[in-house]
Chains A and B, each alone.
Chain A
Amino acid sequence: MTPNTAWSVPFILGPQNLAIDAVVSFCVSVLLAVLVNAEAQAFASTFLGDSRIGAKDRFHFNAFLHLDILGSICYLVGGFGWPRTMEIDRSKFAHPRLYTVITRLAGPVANFLLAGIAGSLAAVMKSFEWDPLVFLMVIGVSITTAIYNLIPLPPLAMGFLVCELIPPDDVRTRSLFLQAGPFLIVALALLERITHQGIISPYVNPIIEAIFTYFRGV
């Protein structure tokens, strides 16, 4: 793929698009998407009552420390992923179930915000007749990260919503769901990649493409 051709959205790394600019742009976009997703969760959690001065897993704004192994593998396999799950002390929330879901949803919301900023930067570059290809990659990866949170498996946002619907006294099911979730998501992404059969992508990709078209401001 030549650099003056728009990179695909969602962008999935493969032998056909291993050009240096595409790979570097994708990696930087992933780091940004993971960073804002995790820090937004940290912010929402703090704002809603779980304040932790000196906590090691939040507000350091170091993208590398937010990378999750399975989440990163998923980015490489399926073009979407998630940050390391941030610890939340639900007992500090006034409404534990609701606030936990809001905290987890803050991640994808922040990804949309990032896509908006990148879209705005792209608009500024276009006004100077500069090609904003890299910023379009940031928009694409951010939106992909946000929309794939619709998959109802943890650690994606909708997965945590499902988790909250499990009766609180059924600790075993909840724990199993939380542990198996990331592996199931990676397995689904791998299965799609290997078989070339759409499992999740036919449902979410049209949404991603429509939102991307809006943000890029054609």
Chain B
Amino acid sequence: MADKVPGKAWKVVFCGTAVNLCLGILYAWSVWTKQLISVPKAGQLITEGPGLGWTYLTNAQAANPFSLCVLIFALLMIPGGRIQDKMGPKVGAITGGLFLALGCIIAGLTKSYTGLIIGFGVFGGIGMGIGYAAPTPAALSWFGPHKRGLIAGLVVGGYGGAALYIAPLATYLIGAYGVASSFVILGIFFAAVVIIAGSQLSKAPPGYVAPALVTKAGAAPAKAAGTLVDWAPSEIFKAWQFYALVFMFIGTTQSGLLVIANAAPIGTKILGASAWLLVSWGGLINALGRVGTGMYSDKIGRGNAYAVNCLVSAACLFLLPSILGSNNILLMFLAVGIAYWQYGGGLALMPAYTADFFGPKNLGMNYGLVFIGWGLGFFMTRLAGTIKDITGSLDWAFYLSALVLIVAVLVSWVTKRPMHLGSGEVR
């Protein structure tokens, strides 16, 4: 067995990151809406500035294409994983990317609210749903369990990091060429990138054995160890570990979103005109958290990496009432940073966990099922609202969230890789 992955493997990783860097346009949506929102003038034609030829939008109209994009993304993510598993990553990534590119071009050319709904909302959502599921499983198939955290982090980090370049690039394009042209130019750019990068994506060939971690004689075995059996999606429901992974996903999502949804708006109000600093900081840490967590999960093990992230985050949640009360900007940045790191880290850890537990072959679909935990994690923000209504503050919501995190860590400690009984697998 070779001790190094072939060059093709790294090419797949970076091309996968490039595809995700296009799909992550969702995070930069507010750059366009800023140019188009004017509640008092809603419905009137814009006669000057970058939005020339468009009509002013209300806040609801500005949010609707984004919301539809998120929902259609969620609706198609699991079928997208199936497309990846059945037809390969090239088909998934290029189809998804081209839908997104076409959506951007439609939005730009129509210069209308309808164009935004159809182009960005519907086509963009379809593109993201199909495309997002393609790069990660392909990249992971080339690497052994000791590298999966880093690889998943690098690929999904592209999606999180997209806002870092799309927002300034779109701002420049809007200023130089106008809102409509910025959509069209980005659409053409995305099409070119996904065709080039997507065509380089491929799963490891049948019979390929990913190199294992080389350890010195007598040294401890690798921390990250995965199954050699590829579980079918319908089989994973029978393993209690599937439910444990869903609960662990709920843990990372609920706490991250609770802070992001409550501390970040408070911080942006305090910062006023400099609020973009906190938003950009969050975007940067979100992307770094995915790569960083993935990297150290390979070294110290998924469970330990999960525990480090969650326990630090739990400590931060216990202190959050004091931090928010102090109005200290530095501490606010630290708290938001920890939340984004932990949230992003969860998004890198869970695909690696899923691959370790259930194998890389059906990862697109299996991870889609584990991703249900991400959706369920949103409950905490709603529950927090109810707690605030009852108690008058969010303090108990933060404490409850920290407790959920601690329970999730305990669950992660007792959750070991399931054995596939049908194949007679042994640990």
Contacts from A to B (Cβ < 8 Å): 3-4, 20-21, 24-25, 28-29, 31-32, 35, 43, 46-47, 51-55, 58-63, 113, 116-117, 119-121, 123-125, 127-135, 138, 217
Contact = CB atoms under 8 A, between A and B. Distances in A.
Nearest to A135: B67
Interface stretch (B95-103, B115-123, B194-202, B333-341): B115-123
Given A4-B59, A24-B121, A133 B75 contact: no
B141 to A, nearest CB: 22
Given A32-B75, A127-B261, A117 B67 contact: no
Contact of B64 (A52, A124, A133): A133
Contacts of B66: 130
B257 A133 contact: no
Contact of B118 (A20, A25, A60, A127): A20
Contacts, number: 126
B250 to A, nearest CB: 11
Contacts of A58: 234
Contacts of A129: 59, 265
Contacts of A113: 376
Closest 5 CB pairs of A and B: A134-B67, A120-B378, A120-B382, A61-B78, A131-B60
Contacts of B260: 124
Interface in B366-403: 368, 375-376, 378-386
Q: Which of A35, A113, A120 has the most CB of B within 10 A?
A: A120
Given A4-B59, A24-B122, A123 B261 contact: yes
11 contacts: A4-B59, A4-B61, A25-B64, A53-B234, A54-B234, A117-B375, A120-B380, A120-B383, A123-B382, A127-B265, A132-B67
Contacts of B379: 116-117, 120
Contacts of A119: 382
Q: Which of A3, A32, A58, A128 has the most CB of B within 10 A?
A: A3
A43 B72 CA distance: 22
Interface residues of B, number: 50
Contact of B68 (A123, A128, A130, A134): A134
A215 to B, nearest CB: 8
B41 to A, nearest CB: 13
B58 interface: yes
A63 B61 contact: no
A29 B72 CA distance: 10
A211 to B, nearest CB: 14
B302 to A, nearest CB: 25
A31 B75 contact: yes
B64 A28 contact: no
B63 interface: yes
A128 B68 CA distance: 17
A143 to B, nearest CB: 14
Contacts of A124: 257, 260-261, 378, 381
Contacts of A53: 232, 234-235
A4 B42 contact: yes
B378 to A, nearest CB: 4
B64 A3 contact: yes
Contacts of A120: 378-383
A63 B382 contact: no
Interface in B43-99: 58-64, 66-68, 70-72, 74-75, 78-79, 82
Contacts of A134: 63-64, 67-68, 71
B167 to A, nearest CB: 15
B63 A47 contact: no
A9 to B, nearest CB: 16
B63 A43 contact: no
Nearest to A116: B379
B422 to A, nearest CB: 10
Nearest to B58: A4
Q: Which of B61, B64, B118, B264 has the most CB of A within 10 A?
A: B64
B78 to A, nearest CB: 4
A8 to B, nearest CB: 15
Contacts of A131: 58-60, 62-64
A52 B380 CA distance: 34
